[in-house]
Amino acid sequence: MSGFKALKEKEKSLTEGVQDLSEALSKATKAPMVPKTEKPMQAQQKENTEWFAEEIAPITGEFGGVVGDDGTCKTAVVFDSIPKGQCCLVIDFDGGGAKLRDAFYQDRRFEFKCQNPWVMEGEARTAYNYPATHDKVMAIGRRALEWAQAQNSAEYEGERLHTVLVTAVDLWDSVASACMFIEDLGTAPDGIGAKISPHEKVGMRFNWQIRSTRFHQLTSLCRELTRHGVNVYYETHWNYEQTKDGSMTGNRKPRWEKQTANYLHTVLEMQSTSVRDDEGRLTGETRYEATFTKSRSRPDLLNKTRLVMTTYEDKNHKWNGLPELKGE
């Protein structure tokens, strides 16, 4: 074998040797296959429940409805439940909140913040701008929610929001209805047109859900307020059913969107009764009472009636209030 050929054979032998060594080292340093083992049961359970870690915040506020005729102490029982030094925000559709505050709470005037929800029209034929009123009410609700969220922080040192009261929420329902015709369906130019807008244009049942959805946008904000410890009350009047000839049927229902009671924790029915003697003559005494017709968090109160106030013809009234709204 010539010297050149012998040299090439030696080089080939060395190269093959290096490759064999490289493959051997690669096999030696490769991580061994470890069989997959099951996670401990406790760890697996923890991993499964982590998906549910973000729980619903505790609902520490009360969401109630107060139903009754005019002058039956609807607003009064709510105002009486506000502790001194804390605030009540009133979305005051009928002005009853401001009237009661100025009559009996002058020394706490700035604790009862009565907001006028109505937006007036300029030169139009209607007094109110219903779409703008709707937007204003929603803006007030959002500001209330921001206030509730802020006061739950440890650094907060401002006024504390205790309760939000919506007076005459039946008027909010009329705002939602008008906006449905004016903005959503486009069948009316303004509030007057909304009242005379042909109902056949609404025809399909689902269209009426527009009004319901608008109404409960405020309800959604109020439910969120209760998750931040703020009480909310819807106040409304009775709707007395009549026959076509105008006679009363004896039936009645609250003047709010028909699904409203499903969202409420408590419903109070207010009434006043003129007291008569054994011979049927008026005594000059009037009793104002509240009946719990729904009480989700206090079942012991269901169908219980409480005497709120008594007025007399010849002496000062006696106020009892409703201690249950104070947590007493």
Domain ranges of the chain: 59-269
**Segment 1-23 mean pLDDT:** 49
Q: What are phi and psi of 15, to 5 degrees?
A: -65, -45
Q: Do residues 169 and 235 touch, judged by C-beta distance below 8 A? A: yes
Q: What does the pLDDT read at residue 295?
A: 95
Q: What does the pLDDT read at residue 4?
A: 42
Task: Report the share of the chain in percent with pLDDT over 90.
Answer: 62
Residues sharing a CB contact under 8 Å with residue 301, sequence separation 6 or more, in sequence order: 292, 295, 324
Reported as a pLDDT band with limits 50, 70 and 90, residue 328 is confident
Reported as a pLDDT band with limits 50, 70 and 90, residue 19 is low
Give me the sheet containing 231-236, strands edge to edge: 112-115, 87-92, 161-167, 231-236, 63-67, 266-276, 282-295, 305-311, 318-319
Residues sharing a CB contact under 8 Å with residue 296, sequence separation 6 or more, in sequence order: 265, 266
* Model pLDDT for residues 151-165, shown as the tens digit of each residue: 999 999 999 999 999
Q: How far apart are alpha carbons 282 and 276 in whole angstroms?
A: 4
Does residue 148 register a pLDDT over 70? yes
Reported as a pLDDT band with limits 50, 70 and 90, residue 143 is very high
Q: What does the pLDDT read at residue 40?
A: 64
Does residue 256 register a pLDDT over 50? yes
Higher pLDDT pick, 184 / 318: 318
**Angle, in degrees to the nearest 10, between helices 130-151 and 169-179:** 130
Most confident of 97-101, 202-206, 251-255: 97-101
Q: What does the pLDDT read at residue 186?
A: 72
Task: Report the share of the chain in percent with pLDDT over 70.
Answer: 77
* Model pLDDT for residues 55-102, shown as the tens digit of each residue: 666 778 999 999 999 999 999 999 999 999 999 999 999 999 999 999
Q: Which amino acid belongs to residue 250?
A: G
**Segment 117-137 mean pLDDT:** 90
Top CATH class of 59-269 equals alpha beta
* Model pLDDT for residues 212-247, shown as the tens digit of each residue: 899 999 999 999 999 999 999 999 999 888 888 888
Burial of 183 (0-12, 13-18, 19+ CB in 10 A): middle
Residue matched to tokens 């490759």: 19
List, in sequence order, every residue forming a beta bridge with 272; answer none if it has no partner: 288
- pTM for this entry: 0.80
* Model pLDDT for residues 37-60, shown as the tens digit of each residue: 555 666 666 666 666 555 666 778
